[in-house]
Chains A and B, each alone.
Chain A
Amino acid sequence: NAGVTQTPKFRILKIGQSMTLQCTQDMNHNYMYWYRQDPGMGLKLIYYSVGAGITDKGEVPNGYNVSRSTTEDFPLRLELAAPSQTSVYFCASRSQQGADQPQHFGDGTRLSIL
């Protein structure tokens, strides 16, 4: 049972570099989410998607972009990495089958911008 898979698990970037954090789920969930987790701050929603081709901004979208070309994949792109983007990034997905379905999380990507 793969669930939600995130790659890479760790990455160090230099300021100004770009990268894509990958997220894929094999549960055929329509809803997908990207969060960032900073120490002592809980999780903040960056972007979310309600289905292939549909994305929207969350609380903290600045500096990030997303796309959703398939149901399975929801990559998060950092175009110009900044030290403030050092964080742990979590992807989550949720089934559309029932209003009470919870979100399922991946193991995270730990990103450092130096």
Chain B
Amino acid sequence: AQSVTQPDIHITVSEGASLELRCNYSYGATPYLFWYVQSPGQGLQLLLKYFSGDTLVQGIKGFEAEFKRSQSSFNLRKPSVHWSDAAEYFCAVGALGGFQKLVFGTGTRLLVSP
């Protein structure tokens, strides 16, 4: 069965510190992977996506993610967190093309301390 696991429900990081959010997936075909961010009261905004090529992908707002097929992981990273990064982050996996049914993880809420 297709699934996405985000093992950390909450993470607290100091402003200026580095960040890594974990995502593991189970998918029977070649995965198409996404990270979305949701600020309070807002919809989901796409941070980055991966479906082929360089396994290190760059996204908006200084985020990057690395696809590791051997570990079935797609972890999100940022070298220096800003207070405005406090939000909920969702990893998702789906098929490339077609109607693109996405399976979402349960999300990781990032808190940024001064």
Contacts and interface: CB of A to CB of B under 8 A. Distances in A.
B-side interface size class: 20 to 34
Could you tell me the dominant secondary structure of chain A's interface residues?
strand
Nearest to A106: B43
B2 to A, nearest CB: 11
A105 B49 contact: no
A56 to B, nearest CB: 8
B71 interface: no
Contact of B101 (A4, A45, A104, A105): A45
Nearest to A107: B43
Contact of A42 (B32, B42, B45, B107): B107
Contacts of B107: 40, 42
Interface in B1-40: 4, 9, 32, 34, 36
A47 B41 CA distance: 22
A-side interface size class: 20 to 34
A44 B103 CA distance: 8
Given A40-B9, A100-B32, A100-B49, A4 B99 contact: no
B8 to A, nearest CB: 13
Interface of A: 4, 31, 40-45, 48, 50, 56, 58, 90, 92, 94, 99-100, 102-108
Which are the 6 A-B pairs with shortest beta-carbon distances? A99-B97, A42-B104, A105-B43, A105-B44, A107-B43, A43-B104
9 contacts: A31-B100, A43-B44, A44-B104, A94-B100, A99-B97, A100-B49, A100-B51, A105-B36, A108-B43
